Structures are given as structure tokens and as C-alpha cells.
Amino acid sequence: MTAAEDGGLGVDLHLELSAAGGRRTALIAALREAVRGGRLAPGTRLPPYRSLAADLGVARNTVADAYAELVAEGWLTSRQGSGTRVADRVAAP
């Protein structure tokens, strides 16, 4: 499963979700890899839950849960009204 998302954010987000391990787990892994690989630079704003969920064909809660876990791990930051962004300093894996 793949997605290309711009949504006016100025970034094309290309994610490939593996079939193994569930969609939430696959999304978390894909986002981590995008940050590690430099495709998502620090400060990059991620698409809203609804947009990314629609592009990937997954439930909105799947995206919300994945974002929340990555925020808790220090990969992303989230601020009400500002959206979710890649953390300036990503936590060590």
C-alpha cells in the first residue's frame, strides 16, 4: 500500500506499508524510516490524520494512534492547531 500526499504542505510523502504486522505497525515503521532516511526533515509538517488515512485507505484512528506513538517516542511533535511535525532532534532508536 502506498500514498503520495502533498495537501498544500509543500512535501510529497511517499509511504509503503508492508502487509505484515498490521497497518498501524507498518505506518509507524514507514514514518520512522522516512525520518531516518532524510525524506522527512526536522520540522516538516505531516499531513492531517484524515488526509493521510484517506490516501492510505486506513482508518483515521490508525493514523492518529501511529502519530501519538511516534510523539511519545520523540520522533514527532504535536501542537493543537499547529499540526504534527518531525521533531527537531529525533530520539535515538
pLDDT score of 6 more than 50:
no
Q: Tell me, which fold does domain 2-86 have in CATH?
A: Arc Repressor Mutant, subunit A (1.10.10)
pLDDT score of 2 more than 60:
no
Residue spans of the domains in the chain: they are 2-86
Instruction: Enumerate the β-bridge partners of residue 83.
Output: 79
- Coil, strand, or helix at residue 5? strand
Which range, of 9-13, 15-19, 63-67, averages the lowest pLDDT? 9-13
Distance CA 93, CA 88 (A): 15
Supply the pTM of this predicted model.
Answer: 0.81
According to the model, what pLDDT value does residue 92 have? 57
Average the pLDDT over 43-53 and give the result.
93
Q: Are 33 and 26 in contact (CB under 8 A)?
A: no
Q: Which three cell numbers stand for residue 51?
A: 488526509
